[in-house]
């Protein structure tokens, strides 16, 4: 039996009330988790290559991107939050076998989400020339930082389309297409960066028998080339993601019936109820990230660059957790849509165990390989040394960080977003920011990352406490099977 047949057969048992023993649940969780995890891992490896390309231009280039990275995260996460409000509805309708309702939500989500992304894009372009100065950047990096953020903002509608369609496919149980396309996007990003960041250069190959000179074309755009490469990759991938969603998907294809693309009040209301807490959380959370940037910025260019590299390398640990979290959202959402509360909790336990185990393993890998990784990513010895130190601090927080990531995916699948968002905000503002502000003055960037490690551990503990209770299941009162 093929991967797709096995996965579809197990998912159908959720919707049809069939029996899923413990082994079948573990198998289904693995079938949904590993394609997404693989895509996340490839995405991170491509980010490493991307960062090393920019890092080869010097600490100043890395710092210019790192300065606006938190604001980029804010705008991207707002797009993600908007799409969550729609694709969680799709997961519940699939669980209830309401496939006409699934396609109704899908049509309306396109219009609502693209309009929202266009508004964000206009705001981003409007503030791009001022943002680096607001964040405390020096004149040596503000120009490149401004251009980077402007081109990123112009690409937001395609980022939104990619987030929406990949979320729809995942919630239908199709993990491999979004994973393959996102891996392809990463490869395209590296290819375009290779052509756009560096100038035309010639490589000479010679042996005792022959000599060969190979000219590689390049635009020599530096930091701007990096963001353009990412933008072109997003445009291609989002188009393909949309095609597989609206044409090829068995559950989602819009060719099966007709309906309106104009968002209806009931759909928007439900989407807002799910997405609004996540969006507010991202705004306030990014405010905290920006405050963290303001704390780091006075520490100098080396600290800014090391902080940026540290965030990139740490993703080696937590991106697999987000892949498992995606699977948890699908499994819990479909189980609850089918009225199977006990099955939803069981899938929650399985994905939690898988996430914590995987991220603990990756933390060990990060701790041991970070020196080698940093020699590949930047030639600056001071940046290398500082980045390795902060990554080894962070490694000890990864197991509990995994708990918070996977629990969050579980709660989103249950439409429980308000309290988890409040927990995230309370943790980061009252624990991380307070500690970072106190420790940065005496310990520099190391103090900022110690504060982060303590906060992530605290956050994981409180999320596990909430998972043990029944509060996140109260939206679904149906007796489980």
Q: Where is pLDDT greater, at 204 or 358? A: 358
Tell me if 55 sits within 8 A of 62, measured CB to CB.
Answer: yes
What's the pLDDT score for residue 480?
Answer: 40
Q: Which of the four pLDDT bands, split at 50, 70 and 90, describes residue 284?
A: confident
Task: Locate the DSSP E strands across 224-357.
Answer: none
Is the pTM of the predicted complex or chain greater than 0.95?
no
pLDDT at residue 1 greater than cutoff 70: no
pLDDT at residue 275 greater than cutoff 50: yes
DSSP3 helix / strand / coil % (the chain, rounded to 5): 80, 5, 15
Residues 238-274 pLDDT 10s: 999 999 999 999 889 999 998 999 999 999 999 998 8
pLDDT at residue 319 greater than cutoff 70: yes
* Mean pLDDT value across residues 278-294: 79
What's the pLDDT score for residue 280?
Answer: 84
Q: Which of the four pLDDT bands, split at 50, 70 and 90, describes residue 481?
A: very low
What's the pLDDT score for residue 475?
Answer: 61
**111-128: burial string, b at 16+ Cβ within 10 Å, e else:** ebbbebbeebbeebbeeb
What's the pLDDT score for residue 48?
Answer: 62
Cα gap 69→223, rounded to integer Å: 13
* Mean pLDDT value across residues 403-414: 93
Cα gap 454→431, rounded to integer Å: 8
Q: Which of the four pLDDT bands, split at 50, 70 and 90, describes residue 479?
A: very low
* 161 token code pair: 């389309």
Give whole-number Cα distances, 423 to 223, 274, 397, 459, in Å: 36, 16, 17, 8
* Mean pLDDT value across residues 434-441: 92
Average pLDDT, the chain: 87
Domain extents in the chain = 3-473
Tell me if 299 sits within 8 A of 444, measured CB to CB.
Answer: yes
* Mean pLDDT value across residues 319-335: 88
Residues 173-201 pLDDT 10s: 888 898 889 888 888 988 898 899 888 87
Give me the torsion for CA of 234, 239, 243, 246, rounded to 10°.
Answer: 90
**Spatial CA neighbour of 169 closest among 83, 270, 79, 252:** 252
Residues 42-70 pLDDT 10s: 666 666 666 677 777 777 887 888 788 77
pLDDT at residue 285 greater than cutoff 80: no
CA angle 317, 321, 327 (to 5 degrees): 155
pLDDT at residue 397 greater than cutoff 90: yes
Q: Where is pLDDT greater, at 456 or 293? A: 456
What's the pLDDT score for residue 261?
Answer: 93
Task: Locate the DSSP E strands across 134-246.
Answer: 199-206, 211-219
* Mean pLDDT value across residues 404-422: 91
């Amino acid at each position: 039996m093929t991967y797709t047949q096995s996965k579809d057969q197990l998912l159908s048992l959720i919707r049809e009330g069939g029996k899923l023993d413990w082994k079948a649940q573990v198998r289904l969780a693995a079938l949904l988790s590993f394609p997404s995890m693989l895509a996340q891992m490839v995405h991170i490896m491509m980010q490493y290559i991307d960062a090393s390309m920019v890092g080869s231009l010097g600490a100043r280039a890395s710092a210019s991107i790192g300065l606006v990275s938190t604001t980029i995260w804010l705008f991207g996460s707002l797009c993600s939050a908007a799409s969550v409000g729609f694709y969680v509805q799709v997961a519940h309708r699939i669980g209830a076998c309401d496939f006409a309702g699934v396609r109704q939500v899908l049509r309306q989500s396109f219009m609502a989400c693209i309009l929202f992304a266009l508004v964000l894009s206009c705001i981003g372009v409007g503030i791009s020339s001022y943002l680096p100065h607001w964040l405390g950047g020096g004149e040596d990096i503000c120009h490149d930082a401004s251009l980077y953020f402007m081109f990123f903002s112009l690409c937001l509608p395609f980022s939104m389309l990619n987030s929406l369609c990949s979320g729809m496919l995942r919630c239908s149980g199709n993990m491999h297409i979004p994973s393959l396309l996102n891996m392809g996007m990463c490869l395209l990003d590296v290819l375009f960066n290779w052509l756009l960041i560096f100038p035309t250069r010639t490589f000479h190959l010679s042996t005792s028998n022959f000599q060969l000179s190979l000219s590689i074309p390049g635009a020599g755009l530096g930091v701007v080339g990096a963001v353009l490469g990412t933008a072109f990759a997003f445009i291609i991938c989002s188009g393909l993601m949309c095609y597989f969603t609206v044409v090829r998907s068995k559950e989602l294809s819009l060719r099966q019936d007709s309906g309106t693309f104009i968002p209806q009040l009931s759909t928007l209301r439900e989407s807002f109820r799910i997405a609004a807490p996540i969006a507010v959380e991202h705004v306030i959370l990014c405010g905290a990230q920006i405050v963290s940037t303001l704390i780091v910025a006075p520490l100098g260019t080396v600290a800014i660059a090391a902080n940026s590299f540290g965030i990139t390398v740490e993703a080696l640990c937590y991106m697999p957790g987000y892949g498992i979290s995606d699977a948890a959202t699908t499994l819990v959402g479909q189980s609850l849509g089918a009225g199977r509360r006990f099955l939803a909790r069981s899938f929650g336990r399985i994905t939690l165990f898988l996430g914590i185990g995987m991220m603990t393993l990756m933390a060990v890998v990060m701790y041991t390989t970070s020196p080698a990784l940093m020699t590949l990513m930047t030639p600056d010895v001071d940046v290398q040394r500082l980045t390795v130190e902060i990554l080894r601090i962070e490694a000890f927080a990864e197991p509990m960080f995994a708990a918070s990531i996977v629990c969050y995916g579980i709660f989103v699948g249950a439409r429980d977003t308000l309290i988890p968002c409040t927990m995230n905000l309370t943790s980061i503002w009252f624990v991380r920011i307070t500690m970072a502000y106190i420790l940065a003055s005496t310990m520099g960037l190391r103090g900022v990352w110690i504060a982060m490690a303590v906060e992530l551990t605290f956050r994981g503990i409180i999320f596990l406490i909430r998972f043990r209770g029944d509060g996140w299941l109260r939206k679904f009162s149906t007796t489980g099977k």
